[in-house]
Amino acid sequence: MVPGSLPYDLSVWMDKCALVKLTLEVTTEFAGLVSRRAPASPAPDGFPPAMLLTLLTYCYATGAFTSSEIERRTYEDDIVRYLATHHHPDQASLRAFRRRWRQVIKECLLNLLALLWQHRYPAAASEARDGTPLTPVQRNPDVSPELVRLWVCEAERRIDRAVQWDSIELDE
């Protein structure tokens, strides 16, 4: 694999349980924001926003893009069922959440990509000299702007793929 290239399913870079832990770490930072800004019933069936954010971030990271596949995995995949907290969000709820919180999902994917990179190529620092925690992108001093751009593009590409594949499914 060329340095900087990313696998389709990011779980090839690490154990799925470790990827779940990183996904939870990343999405926890944003879950409060989503919960505070979401209406009392964020999805038609009132699914918890933090759960939906974590679920979509993990699924997009592991190559599950269509809402129908994600819904199916909440029944069949133990890890996805765990992340969905034994809820089974329907396709429409997943698409509605993605539309509303696309930028936050993108930020979560970007930070997850940075953490995965850090795991694969360990960095020296986890906090700034003044003690403030660094974002995953800032943690590795060797990360080039080109690599960060790659991650941003990859995060956006994964969400675009989900939108496109959902559109194709709806057309059939």
Q: Find the domain containing 159 and state its range.
A: 14-171
Please, are residues 52 and 81 in contact by the beta-carbon 8 Å criterion?
Answer: no
Q: What's this model's pTM, rounded to 2 decimal places? A: 0.83
Q: Directed axis angle between helix 145-171 and helix 91-120, to 10°?
A: 160
Q: Is 26 part of a structural domain of the chain?
A: yes
pLDDT, residue 124, reads 44
Q: Is 2 part of a structural domain of the chain?
A: no
DSSP string of 16-35?
HHHHHHHHHHHHHHHHHHHH
Q: How many CB atoms lie within 10 A of CB 125?
A: 11
Q: Is 7 part of a structural domain of the chain?
A: no
Over residues 83-92, mean pLDDT: 94
Does residue 21 carry a pLDDT above 50? yes
Over residues 91-106, mean pLDDT: 93
Q: Is 39 part of a structural domain of the chain?
A: yes
Looking at the structure of the chain, the number of domains it has is 1
What's the CA gap between 134 and 124, in Å, rounded?
12
- State the amino acid at position 55 in one-letter form: L
Q: Is 78 part of a structural domain of the chain?
A: yes
- Which residues of 39-148 form beta strands (DSSP E)? none
